[in-house]
Structure 1
Amino acid sequence: MKKILRKYYTDLFLTNRLFIALGVCVCLFVFSFFISFLGDLPYFLFGALMVLIILDFILLYRKNKTVFLRRDTPDRLSNGDDNELKIYLENFYPFQIKVGIIDEIPFQFQKRDLWFSTSLSSREQKTITYLLRPTKRGEYDFGQTRLYVQSPLGLLSRRFNIGTNKTVPVYPSFLKLRQYELMAISNRLTDIGIKKMRRIGHSMEFDQVKNYVAGDDYRTVNWKATARKGELMVNSYTDEKAQHIYCVIDKSRAMKMPFDGLSLLDYAINASLILSSVALVKEDKAGLITIAEKTGSVVPADRKPTQLNKIMEVLYKEKTRYLETDMEALYISVRATLKQRSLVIFFTNFESMSSLERQMPHLKRIARFHLLLVVFFENTSLKSLSEEPAKDVEGIYIKTVAEKFAYEKKLMVKELAKHGILGLLTSPQNLTVNVVNQYLALKAQQRI
């Protein structure tokens, strides 16, 4: 008996409408002491309210099959992207109901006011869609979904605790993979609003002889095929294939800096995953090396169908370290792993010229054997400070210092170029687009 009663009172809640009605009854009882003509009206209204409460209770509890709710959660979430989740509802009550939903999302989102309210007619179905944007990789624990149902009387609310705890892993950004793969096929990223980088030259890897169409380069006309066929034919060329593309990710404390909820390491990981995907679409071989105070994970370059999943699984587990990068260990890993000339894209960060100079000897040694592209980040906070007008003497001082640091970042690119090393200075939000563009440009220029 105790268990049955507990089943009811633990999931039964009083609504604001009931408290208002009780307040009205209390006021009438108080006024009846001073206003005689109220008579038995307060007793009548209070009795009617008790009857309605009992009726509301019966409406909510008399059926076994009441409402159906299901939360559709992806098997994995994409880090830094808006992930879509759905809550499916169906009403089996013979009357219209009002529902409120609390979804227990993982604590990492620090969101305690995720409340949805709607109404459903009898046998009506609804789907509620909402977005979650995780900013850290790892495991996220979803709790139960709390459903609060009210009948048309609206005096009581019945709670349903639906579902069980579910753990969902958050992987590096994979939702944008398909988008960038399509861009890579056409060698352009203009469709997403990014200015296309000028690419000089084209590959001389022969593909096929085809009919001339307007816009083809007249220098590629195949005169022998034209004479045989009796119509204008041209040679078609394609990018060279099976080139080795390695993403080298610095996991040291320099990559711990946050930007828009994500660390620089997470931006580098997301960009590396997308670049690897684009490289595989271009039929190149993608590989990965992570480095901090010692060599981390090493994935040799390959273009098997399982290569992208292998890289994703490795990147999922990577975390920021708190020591300086051992560039000697990186050089040894590169020499041991890379057996032919490759494009090495090194994701790191420099905050001063002196930090670059400390690593320059090792970068030069790597650049002797491979095409090295060093990718580092703009300090967007300093950049915004340098662009704001100064209002007082202190503002002038801050603006001058910010401009000095911003200019020093640009000098680092020139310093790298002096030693035959490519440099790419980019803001975190534009990292992926700029890196993919740079890769496509280098392929078009046949520099790999």
Structure 2
Amino acid sequence: MNLYKRYILPLFFGRRFYWSFVAVILLFILSYNWPALYPVAKICLWFVIAITVIDYALLFLRREGVLIQRIVSDRFSNGDTNIVKLLVTNKYHFRISIKVIDEIPVQFQRRDFSVDAVLDSDESKNITYDLRPVERGEYIFNDTNVFVKSPLQLVVRRIKSEGEQMVKVLPSYLALRQFELVAYSNNLAEAGSRKVRKIGHSLEFEQIKEYVTGDDLRSINWKATARKGGQLMVNKYTDERSQQIYCIIDKGRVMKMPFEGMSLLDYAINATLILSRVALIKQDRAGLVTFAENIGHFLPANRKASQMGHILETLYNQQTKFLESDYEKLYAHIRTRISQRSLIVLFTNFESLSGLQRQLPYIRSIARSHLVLVVFFENTELRQLTEDPAMDTESLYTKTIAEKFMYEKRLIVKELQQHGIFTILTAPQNLTVNTVNKYLELKARQAI
């Protein structure tokens, strides 16, 4: 929240002023043929001048006629709708008409933003608007301009607030809060996650409780039952904890592809943030690796309270590289820095089977020591092309090529699965839910 107190007071004239002078000029022109109109034209001229002076005095004799206050968070959530509020207060003793133009950050490329409103005397009004950033970084809000008109509407006063506000656009923390709430309540199905039937018992004992219908009879604790005088008691187990979950983000050129204004890298970063938080809530340890032609950042897996802050700050400054990613360096780094068996969630993208085959030996080498989940993206625009009917020869060729690329995506999934590597092929907008679902499934199956 920032209250501006310094103002610049320029003067403009409204449309009513110009139309009034046009009418006076026409009267003077007509007075050449009808001299009787000349005195009327002079009276009208002086009347317009007098009214304009009165209007000027009404607007400018009061130093702070309008107070402006921009209420905005110091950080935005990337890819989400963020609210900006402008609190405008009328300090005049009469009703005013205003046009508000807020100088929003250049990244949004909105040069036609304006809001009209009418304020009674001493009335305050909240003007709200939405902004959806699609890239991370620093966004600068500049001045807020309010153009004020009195009921006469001849003179326009501009009240311009002088001040800048910097807002950091971070990975999608609004979606993070949603998943936090449902994860704490163990009701992830509300966020789109599905329930997975557990296979066998977890190895981590939690407590002994009374038997209720539906409990596994194999979990009956006969010693505790005897002490309770025949009341059946069962052992309750919980998911194993302190397992290591590493999100590995490919920052190579394959992640530069845009979808709905955001790059695939940004989708991967948002999913990484949420998956890490869910893992920490489930008492696992979350870590992070970024790489391109070289290894970028390495954040060892941890479950401390400060870990989410470290992950958020690390993800904030990640940028896509235009070089091909080096999977050999990634394998060497994982082999030397991650000694304990972990779930490796690799966010990348393969557009062709040959592209996968170049990197497959290194992915297989990682999978010998860790559980690897490869997450890559479905090209939804190609899918749309395959669904559209072919109306001519050119569209038939286009549809055939699109189907070929879609088929190669399915071959990539099959190739990875043949080597025991888990995969997720997903549309970018479904990435977060599908990744969290897969993590919960692997955890329920005790695959980690």
User: How does the TM-score come out when normalised to structure 1?
Assistant: 0.93
Please state how far the C-alpha of 1:212 moved relative to its aligned partner: 4.9
What residue number does 1:74 align with? 73
Tell me whether 421-430 or 37-46 shows the greater mean CA deviation. Answer: 37-46
1:5-404 alignment runs, 5 A limit: 11-35=10-34, 38=37, 40-192=39-191, 194=192, 196=194, 198-201=196-199, 203-212=202-211, 220-222=219-221, 224-226=223-225, 228-229=227-228, 231=231, 233-404=233-404
Deviations 1:20-48 (A, max 9, x none): 22222222222333345545222222222
Please state how far the C-alpha of 1:173 moved relative to its aligned partner: 1.2
Please state how far the C-alpha of 1:219 moved relative to its aligned partner: 5.4
Please state how far the C-alpha of 1:221 moved relative to its aligned partner: 4.9
> What is the RMSD computed on CA atoms of the aligned residues?
2.0
Paired with 1:412 and 1:62, the residues of 2 have a C-alpha distance of: 73
Paired with 1:123 and 1:391, the residues of 2 have a C-alpha distance of: 64
Deviations 1:99-124 (A, max 9, x none): 11111111111100110111111111
What amino acid maps onto 1:255 in structure 2? M
Paired with 2:214 and 2:119, the residues of 1 have a C-alpha distance of: 59
How many residue pairs match? The answer is 440
What amino acid maps onto 1:110 in structure 2? Q
The change in CA–CA distance for 1:406 and 1:188 in structure 2 (over 3 A counts) is farther
Paired with 1:216 and 1:37, the residues of 2 have a C-alpha distance of: 105
What residue number does 1:438 align with? 438
The change in CA–CA distance for 1:336 and 1:181 in structure 2 (over 3 A counts) is same
What amino acid maps onto 2:383 in structure 1? K
Please state how far the C-alpha of 1:210 moved relative to its aligned partner: 3.3
Paired with 2:88 and 2:189, the residues of 1 have a C-alpha distance of: 41
Contact 1:70 1:163 in 2 (8 A): no
Provide the secondary structure at the position in 2 that maps to 1:50.
helix
User: How does the TM-score come out when normalised to structure 2?
Assistant: 0.93
Contact 2:189 2:195 in 1 (8 A): no
Paired with 2:220 and 2:25, the residues of 1 have a C-alpha distance of: 96
Paired with 1:439 and 1:187, the residues of 2 have a C-alpha distance of: 14
- The 4+ residue runs of structure 1 with deviation greater than 4 A are 186-189, 197-200, 211-234
Provide the secondary structure at the position in 1 that maps to 2:405.
helix
The change in CA–CA distance for 1:286 and 1:56 in structure 2 (over 3 A counts) is same
Q: What stretches of structure 2 of length at least 5 have no aligned partner?
A: 1-6
Deviations 1:178-235 (A, max 9, x none): 101223335554424x372644436342222334556655654555545544655444
The change in CA–CA distance for 1:322 and 1:199 in structure 2 (over 3 A counts) is farther
Deviations 1:352-372 (A, max 9, x none): 001111111101110000000
Contact 2:196 2:444 in 1 (8 A): no
What residue number does 1:4 align with? none
The change in CA–CA distance for 1:125 and 1:214 in structure 2 (over 3 A counts) is farther
What residue number does 1:447 align with? 447
Contact 2:386 2:403 in 1 (8 A): yes
Paired with 2:38 and 2:288, the residues of 1 have a C-alpha distance of: 86
Provide the secondary structure at the position in 2 that maps to 1:395.
helix
The change in CA–CA distance for 1:144 and 1:218 in structure 2 (over 3 A counts) is farther
Paired with 2:185 and 2:373, the residues of 1 have a C-alpha distance of: 23
Contact 1:242 1:285 in 2 (8 A): yes
What fraction of aligned residue pairs are identical, expressed as a percent? 52
What amino acid maps onto 2:53 in structure 1? I
The change in CA–CA distance for 1:437 and 1:30 in structure 2 (over 3 A counts) is same
Contact 1:188 1:196 in 2 (8 A): no
Paired with 2:439 and 2:186, the residues of 1 have a C-alpha distance of: 10
Deviations 1:319-364 (A, max 9, x none): 1111111111101111122121100000011010011111111011
The change in CA–CA distance for 1:34 and 1:215 in structure 2 (over 3 A counts) is farther
The change in CA–CA distance for 1:407 and 1:38 in structure 2 (over 3 A counts) is same
Tell me whether 293-302 or 114-123 shows the greater mean CA deviation. Answer: 114-123
Paired with 1:322 and 1:276, the residues of 2 have a C-alpha distance of: 26
Please state how far the C-alpha of 1:318 moved relative to its aligned partner: 1.1
Paired with 1:213 and 1:74, the residues of 2 have a C-alpha distance of: 49
The change in CA–CA distance for 1:91 and 1:223 in structure 2 (over 3 A counts) is farther
What amino acid maps onto 1:56 in structure 2? D
Provide the secondary structure at the position in 1 that maps to 2:174.
coil
Please state how far the C-alpha of 1:166 moved relative to its aligned partner: 2.0
Paired with 2:156 and 2:228, the residues of 1 have a C-alpha distance of: 82
The change in CA–CA distance for 1:42 and 1:310 in structure 2 (over 3 A counts) is same
What residue number does 2:413 align with? 413
Paired with 1:331 and 1:126, the residues of 2 have a C-alpha distance of: 58
Deviations 1:282-312 (A, max 9, x none): 1111000011111110000001111111111
Paired with 1:210 and 1:66, the residues of 2 have a C-alpha distance of: 70
Q: What stretches of structure 1 of length at least 5 have no aligned partner?
A: 1-6
